[in-house]
Amino acid sequence: MHHTNPQLERRFVLALGISLLVFLAELVGGWWTNSLALLSDSAHVFLDVFALALSYIALRAAALPADDRHTYGWHRLEVFAALANGITLLGITLAIFYEAWERLQNPAPIHSAEMLVVAVIGLVANLGVARLLHDHHDEDLNTRSAFLHVVGDALASFGVIVAGIVMLATGWYVIDPLISAFIGVIILIGSWRVLRSSLHILFEGTPEGIAIGDVARAMGDVAGVQDVHDLHLWSICSGYPALSAHILVADSSCEATAAQMASLKQTLAERFGIEHTTIQFETTNCGQGTVVCQNGS
């Protein structure tokens, strides 16, 4: 289950404030210097702001208790926030590629020194935001998607700095749209990762890092279990796996099934981190679903 994390919430608010300031600085700086790379980076930072805002809302919503209409609570909002982030990233990438192609056909002069100063400020700020989120980026998909936004933007800011140095030294303005395309590739990779993970959860895919065959065998090793069938494994949201299964047993007495239930829950929690389970005991196979583990076979 997900619980409120005050420290993470405070870091999200601080990261949101810093990213908003960076967006405004790069937007004005890109317009002032006529740099597509800087404007592209400001668009990416705007998505960082959007992503962080969505992630913060999802973080707060995930802590809300379940009710009669939402028996799992609001955990899935985290996944929808990540999905929205991935889609917006994909959209902005296409716009950057189009504008970069236009600039390659007609290179424009750029105020390289001013562009370089703004890009350095952006890089420092992005690294600061990434540091704020780093300690929590493995906790859930929502925080990870926001972290990837910021890391990608730090890389993009570095690319803008490289472009600024090259233009100052050589006057080769074509590098501006080339760096913009590079930023677009970074955004595209990040968006694909986030979209893939969020869609996998929404399509009820098996949680990443857990092999359903290993789970079935571990359940089948519990004393008294004859077979495991109709086994389903999915995620409510990232870090919150759920399982349902039918268990065939010879002894259906309360004492036997109580001991088996305790052993099954302990095995699933300790070995796979699965704590939300729905297990049905049977003395005759109901014929529903396939047998995924059978003792003696």
244 and 167 within one domain: no
Answer with the residue of higher pLDDT: 86 or 200. Answer: 200
Q: Which of 278, 105, 75, 282 is nearest to 178 (CA)?
A: 105
In a domain, 235, yes or no: yes
238 and 93 within one domain: no
What pLDDT does 2 receive?
46
31 and 122 within one domain: yes
In a domain, 283, yes or no: yes
Helix (DSSP H) and strand (DSSP E) numbers for the chain: 8, 4
In a domain, 284, yes or no: yes
When computed from its CA atoms, the radius of gyration of the chain, rounded to whole angstroms, is 25
In a domain, 173, yes or no: yes
220 and 191 within one domain: no
Domain with 216 in it: 212-294
Q: Looking at residues 218-241, what average pLDDT do you find?
A: 90
Q: Which of 174, 179, 31 is nearest to 96 (CA)?
A: 179
Look up the CATH number of the domain holding residue 263: 3.30.70.1350
189 and 70 within one domain: yes
Checking if the pLDDT of 278 tops 80, the result is yes
Question: Considering 179, 202, 225, which residue would you say is the last residue of a domain?
Answer: 202
Q: In Å, what is the CA distance from 124 to each residue of 32, 83, 127, 128, 153?
A: 20, 28, 5, 6, 11
In a domain, 21, yes or no: yes
232 and 261 within one domain: yes
In a domain, 207, yes or no: no
118 and 218 within one domain: no
Whether the CB-CB separation of 213 and 247 falls below 8 Å is answered with: no
User: Residue 124 carries which side chain, given as an amino acid letter?
Assistant: V
Number of domains in the chain: 2
- Judge if pTM exceeds 0.75: no
255-275 burial: b if 16+ Cβ within 10 Å, else e:
eebeebeebbeebbeeebebe
Question: Considering 135, 167, 202, which residue would you say is the last residue of a domain?
Answer: 202
Checking if the pLDDT of 81 tops 90, the result is no
Name, of 37-46, 109-118, 276-285, the range with top average pLDDT. 276-285
Answer with the residue of higher pLDDT: 151 or 212. Answer: 212
What is the 8-class DSSP label of residue 167?
H
259 and 115 within one domain: no
Question: Considering 202, 227, 253, which residue would you say is the last residue of a domain?
Answer: 202
pLDDT in tens, 161-217: 888 888 888 888 888 888 888 878 877 887 788 788 889 999 999 998 899 999 999
135 and 27 within one domain: yes
Q: Looking at residues 252-281, what average pLDDT do you find?
A: 92
94 and 221 within one domain: no
In a domain, 1, yes or no: no
265 and 186 within one domain: no
Q: What gap in Å lies between CA 64 and CA 182, rounded to an integer?
A: 40
In a domain, 19, yes or no: yes
Q: Which of 20, 58, 24, 226 is nearest to 144 (CA)?
A: 58
40 and 17 within one domain: yes
User: Residue 132 carries which side chain, given as an amino acid letter?
Assistant: L
